[in-house]
Amino acid sequence: MASGGVIARAAFAAGALAMTGAANADEWSPYVNPRFGAAAEIPAKGFTADPPPENGDGQRWTSDEDGGTIAVYGAYQVLADDFEGYRSFALESARESGVKITYERRGQGWFVYSGLDGDTIVYERVEEACGGDAIVAIRFDYPKSAKRRWDKIVKHGAETLEARPSEACR
Length of the chain: 170
Q: Model's pTM, two decimal places?
A: 0.84
Domain range summary for the chain, segments of one domain joined by +: 25-169
Average pLDDT in the chain: 87
Count the alpha carbons within 13 Å of 62 in the hemisphere toward its beta carbon: 6
CATH for 25-169 (3.30.300.30, 3.40.50.620, 3.40.1000.10, 3.40.640.10): 3.40.1000.10
Q: Contact 77/135 with Cβ under 8 angstroms?
A: yes
pLDDT attached to residue 88: 95
pLDDT in tens, 56-109: 999 999 999 999 999 999 999 888 889 999 999 999 999 999 999 999 999 999
Strand ranges across the sheet with 69-76: 47-49, 58-63, 69-76, 134-143, 120-129, 110-117, 100-107
Amino acid at site 92: E
